[in-house]
Chain A
Amino acid sequence: MRIGACIVLLTAMAGAALATEIPPDQRRSGYSFMSPDTKAMQDEDTANPGMLSVLDGEALWKRKAGSADKACADCHNDARVSMKGVAAHYPAFAKALGRPVDLEGRINLCRTNHQQASPFAYESRELLALTAFVAQQSRGLPIAAGDDPQLAPFVDKGHALFMQRQGQLNLACANCHDDNWDKKLAGSAITQGQPTGYPLYRLEWQSLGSLQRRLRACITGIRAQAYDYGSPELVELELYLMSRARGMPIETPAVRP
């Protein structure tokens, strides 16, 4: 009996890789699934709650910090110029670490290495605000992550995680976001899971949140063990999602239901 069940399991695992990738011309941002009201909230800077964080981030950009007593602006000057297009290339390969870091990780590396300040906690107001401010400088620009050949093995790892069935519900990201994005899970549109708008304001959260927060929510949703904030696995998933979304415009700060 048990052996029988196990053979079935083996077959199930062999079948797990059957998901089909979304053809480039059919890719759609989560934005396109939203109601006109929620779209309007994202489109109008004065109505978009994420813009408050962007303003907050702009103030932090100019504030001196750490024992180096330097502001981000002391090294990078005007973010409108120096940070334009930067977020479109993240996660990026960090030579010193030999692995990719996401934008939050990069900002924290600047805090520790250049400002000699303590890193911000993931999902802290400050880290979300600075990340939103930096990413907003790329709004409308096409995502170009994953180009660096050194990233290839990490993109592959992220892809494998995306395809891996996990958790008590035994579902893979691909089961929902590649195979069923035109369907509804209870009341809500499943969408393609495109990472175009982060950090973004989610009405359900009543706050800004990072891509890692969203990924952890999906992982907990399938009753799997969520990876820790900043873990290599979450960065690899982010990297895969960003390279899967290559060419799609950045929307930060987006709004989602």
Chain B
Amino acid sequence: MARLAPVTLLAAGLLAACTPAGAEQLRPYTVVGDAIPASLTGTNGDATRGRALVVERSSTCILCHSGPFPEQAFQGDLAPNLSGSGARWSEGQLRLRLVDASHLNAATIMPSYYRVDGLTRVGNSWRGKPILSAEQIEDIVAYLVTLRN
């Protein structure tokens, strides 16, 4: 009983952290199975902008992933090659992987790009903001679905 108390407190703390305060600026979305079927913005993203975002270092994707980016000398090998993502996954599945990969695999190292709750010691300049905006997520999803092989 006494040993359970800290866990309960921790859970209470986390649930409190999940109240609307932090999440307000995120647009609501609905997970269906292993996907988020509907666009976060209600419109389609732009695949050209999406590709530019993926290869930009500040988006962090190619720190871990490689992909069909012949012009990029430095790509990571911590994660699957992004070639063929659009053949392996539907648009909605890709969207959930970007929004919150930990929803699918709790131990994943892939950051949740559209989440502000449940993070620890986020630096001042990043606190309370998702890594990518809803528009940026949609642009990247639009690009990834074009990667058919």
Contact = CB atoms under 8 A, between A and B. Distances in A.
Interface in B112-146: 112, 115, 117-127, 129, 131
Chain A to chain B: the 9 pairs with minimum beta-carbon distance, closest first: A187-B74, A9-B118, A15-B107, A168-B126, A12-B106, A186-B74, A11-B106, A15-B106, A6-B18
Nearest to A221: B63
26 contacts: A1-B31, A3-B18, A5-B18, A5-B118, A6-B15, A10-B11, A12-B102, A12-B118, A16-B107, A18-B107, A167-B119, A167-B122, A168-B131, A169-B131, A170-B120, A180-B78, A184-B78, A185-B78, A186-B57, A186-B62, A190-B78, A223-B122, A223-B123, A223-B125, A224-B123, A226-B123
A52 to B, nearest CB: 30
B100 to A, nearest CB: 7
Interface string B20-61: 100100001011000000000000000000000000010010
Contacts of B115: 5
- Chain A contact surface mostly: mixed
A9 B75 CA distance: 29
A224 B119 CA distance: 10
Contacts, number: 112
Contacts of A3: 15, 18
Contacts of A167: 119-123, 126
B111 interface: yes
Contacts of B106: 8, 11-12, 14-15
B109 A8 contact: no
Given A9-B118, A167-B123, 19 more contacts: A1-B30, A2-B23, A9-B14, A15-B106, A18-B107, A166-B119, A166-B121, A170-B102, A170-B120, A175-B109, A183-B77, A184-B76, A184-B77, A186-B74, A187-B73, A223-B125, A223-B126, A225-B123, A225-B124
A186 B63 contact: yes
- Chain B contact surface mostly: loop
B121 A224 contact: yes
B148 interface: no
**Size bracket of the A interface:** 35 or more
Contacts of B75: 186-187
A71 interface: no
A79 interface: no
Given A11-B106, A187-B74, A168 B122 contact: yes
B123 A183 contact: no
Nearest to A171: B109
Contacts of A12: 102, 106-107, 118
